[in-house]
Structure 1
Amino acid sequence: MSIATMSPPATVTPPATRGSDFATLSGRIAAAGLTKRRPGYYVARISLVAGLYVAGWAAFVAVGDSWYQLLVAPFLAIVFAQLAFVSHDIAHRQVFRTRRPSEIAGLIAGNLGIGMSYGWWMDKHTRHHANPNHEERDPDVVPDVLVWSTRQAEASRGIPRLLGGWQAYLFFPLLTLEGLSLHVNSARALARPSLRHRWAESGLLVLHFAAYLAALLLVLSPAKALAFLAVQQGLFGVYLGSTFAPNHKGMEMPSEDDQEQWDFLRRQVLTSRNVRGGHFINVLLGGLNYQIEHHLFPSMPSVNLRRARPIVRDYCDEIGVAYTEAGLIGSYGQALRYLHEVGAPLRRGSEA
């Protein structure tokens, strides 16, 4: 089977040796030395992002009570997203081998840096990795605002039913609320007794929000503060959501039967899409453009994913598993067309 550039076929017949497929691939990746830590890379990357974070807030103070702050806001939106990418790598143990330093760094980057509960996000993201694109098991395809399958569309109520028919057109505008959603869900997670380091998370989140709002109100007039908040948080949400959108939307959504039949390799590869591009795309998407490799080897340093790609791609071709990749614009097109298709039952219902 040739390497796919569009979504894989709905029915995939796994080979008889499927149980050993991932072990074979894992051996090839290990032989290439791609699972080794890259401390120098992460020292440089974290230092750069931290420096840009400090520079952004220094520029905010220097510009003062001026509408030119609307130029600072997009810069800080980008830096917040880049800090979220760093937090993602930390959570996957790409930076530190052990839990304690990972948790400390994750709490600083997530809770203190961008106002995101590290524990809440890590739990959610771990469940996503275990069951990508599974309607009942993947929290990223829960129909809370949008619907991700025809079955969800037909069973939808409330906001998903209201918006689902035209969700492809509303997708990017709705992403302006993604940052707010992240903050609200993080705050709600603090009520869970099961949340690890609950008090530390609470303190750091309160400190982030207090410092953020105090900076806006002390430096800016109320109108400018509101405008800065809307632009910075809105663009942060759009950037973050646009990074994750091409990865799985429009790819296979396994049923319970598929879940039982597919091995780990197929469950990760068939539900993921890579985004082609050079170093600019790598930086823009935080390395998550190599989504297939990341899902197969989540603890692999993101800087190594580019080198893992040809090994994984060739191996998938060798065993007959569709390997999907597209350009950035093409990946958005595939995702949006899929969202429009699954919303069709709701459009027909509104026209009846």
Structure 2
Amino acid sequence: MTSSTITETAAGPAGSDFARLSARVAAAGLMRRRPGYYLARFALVGAFAAATATAFVLIGDSPWQLAVAAAAAVLYGQIALLAHDVAHRQVFRTRRPSAVVGRILGNLGIGMSYGWWMDKHTRHHANPNHEGLDPDVEAGALAWTGEQAEASRGINRFLNRHQAVLFFPLLTLAGIDLRRASLQGLLGANGSKVRGRGLELTLLAVHAAGYLTALLAVLPPGLAVAFFVVHQGLFGIYLGSIFAPNHKGMEMPTERMDFLRKQVLTSRNVAGGRLTDGLLHVAMGGLNHQIEHHLFPSMPTPNLRRSRKLVREFCGEVGVDYHETGLVRSWAESLGQLRTASAPLRA
């Protein structure tokens, strides 16, 4: 486990499909940095954070704090998306500023270890949807294959049996579980391999202390608990709504593939109409264009939408299925995989 930054994947052998696609993307200028975009995005998220904190203090002891908690859940999701782009070097070219800003956003901002997440996300990008290689399809409270479901035991076996129905309720715990896993990762045997582990632990402690102090200083105990539950629960649902529609229900390869096919066939784009596409782009941080992001991880977010037509046409030329669907259909396909995987336990 290291805190190395996720960088652009090598173009592959000369003349490969991905090398030819990369040449077209580079010629179109789609890998160029977009500093103005990120300055504006950081400013908007910063203003959102200031407005949320101000509302929290001014509203005080009032049921309206639950609306503030919902806004804070969206804020945490947007901070997580910024940290994601920083990790992929879409914002800064070099590792050091990426690591500094990533820790501020991740550890201090939302209480999740940047170094731990970097290792996890790097392995996901290397082998998306590959059982045994991609940590995002490990067995646990959710099973992604029938074999995983049949091998489950205890409470996980019950959860796996009903996982399609329980998926959204389980997502309410996703934010807390990711924090638990990141802290466990830092404190575990491999935690010493994370650069700046001491700093990361300190920033996590500062976040937790600041968060709990603010709740107890401004709100009475009952309302503080309600704020915590709403905030963390909606944050988990928001995170799941960003990442689950992009890969779940897609192919889970068992054989070797070249880079282009490994990334395209395991990913799904989520499309909207003229009115909703822009909203999807903002809400999902550009990750509704997941195929383009997996092919070109360091491509700045605003260029993902621009590259879609080029990538889709190229996939058509080389006979690679390019899967894009609406938001509702993407969830139906994701939940369909969960139902299929849990079928042996319901038989």
- Structure 1 residues 211-231: Cα deviation after superposition (integer angstroms, max 9, x where no partner): 000000000011000000000
- Please report how far the alpha carbon of residue 18 of structure 1 lies from its aligned counterpart in structure 2 after TM superposition: 10
- Counterpart of 1:314? 313
Aligned equivalents of 1:322, 1:159: Cα separation in 2: 38
Letter in 1 for 2:164: A
Aligned equivalents of 1:19, 1:65: Cα separation in 2: 65
Letter in 1 for 2:209: A
* 1:63 partnered with 2:59: yes
On the 8 A contact 1:168/1:336 being kept in 2, the answer is: yes
* 1:267 partnered with 2:266: no
- Counterpart of 2:282? 283
Identity of aligned residues (%): 61
- Please report how far the alpha carbon of residue 179 of structure 1 lies from its aligned counterpart in structure 2 after TM superposition: 1.0
- Structure 1 residues 4-54: Cα deviation after superposition (integer angstroms, max 9, x where no partner): xxxxxxxxxxxxx99610000000000110000000000000111011112
**Structure 1 residues 156-165 or 128-137, which shifts more?**
156-165
Give runs of aligned pairs for residues 36-115 of structure 1, distance below 5 A.
36-115=32-111
Aligned equivalents of 2:53, 2:186: Cα separation in 1: 27
- Counterpart of 1:188? 184
- Please report how far the alpha carbon of residue 190 of structure 1 lies from its aligned counterpart in structure 2 after TM superposition: 2.2
- Please report how far the alpha carbon of residue 156 of structure 1 lies from its aligned counterpart in structure 2 after TM superposition: 2.0
Aligned equivalents of 2:224, 2:182: Cα separation in 1: 23
SS in 2 for 1:190: helix
Q: Which runs of 5+ in 1 are unaligned?
A: 1-16
Aligned equivalents of 2:308, 2:156: Cα separation in 1: 36
TM-score (norm 2): 0.93
* 1:301 partnered with 2:297: no
Partner of residue 122 from structure 2, selected from 108, 123, 126: 126
- Please report how far the alpha carbon of residue 158 of structure 1 lies from its aligned counterpart in structure 2 after TM superposition: 2.6
- Counterpart of 2:240? 241
- Counterpart of 1:7? none
- Please report how far the alpha carbon of residue 334 of structure 1 lies from its aligned counterpart in structure 2 after TM superposition: 0.7
Aligned equivalents of 1:19, 1:32: Cα separation in 2: 19
- Structure 1 residues 317-339: Cα deviation after superposition (integer angstroms, max 9, x where no partner): 11000000110111001111111
On the 8 A contact 1:18/1:263 being kept in 2, the answer is: no
On the 8 A contact 1:189/1:195 being kept in 2, the answer is: no
- Please report how far the alpha carbon of residue 182 of structure 1 lies from its aligned counterpart in structure 2 after TM superposition: 1.5
Aligned equivalents of 1:19, 1:190: Cα separation in 2: 42
Q: CA RMSD in A?
A: 1.2
Aligned equivalents of 1:217, 1:187: Cα separation in 2: 23
TM-score (norm 1): 0.91
Aligned equivalents of 2:61, 2:124: Cα separation in 1: 42
- Counterpart of 1:8? none
On the 8 A contact 1:91/1:102 being kept in 2, the answer is: yes
Give runs of aligned pairs for residues 121-200 of structure 1, distance below 5 A.
121-191=117-187, 192-200=191-199
Letter in 1 for 2:258: D
* 1:216 partnered with 2:215: yes
SS in 2 for 1:93: coil
* Higher relative contact order, structure no. (Cα contacts within 8 Å, ≥ 6 residues apart): 1
Q: Which runs of 5+ in 2 are unaligned?
A: 1-12
On the 8 A contact 1:19/1:263 being kept in 2, the answer is: no
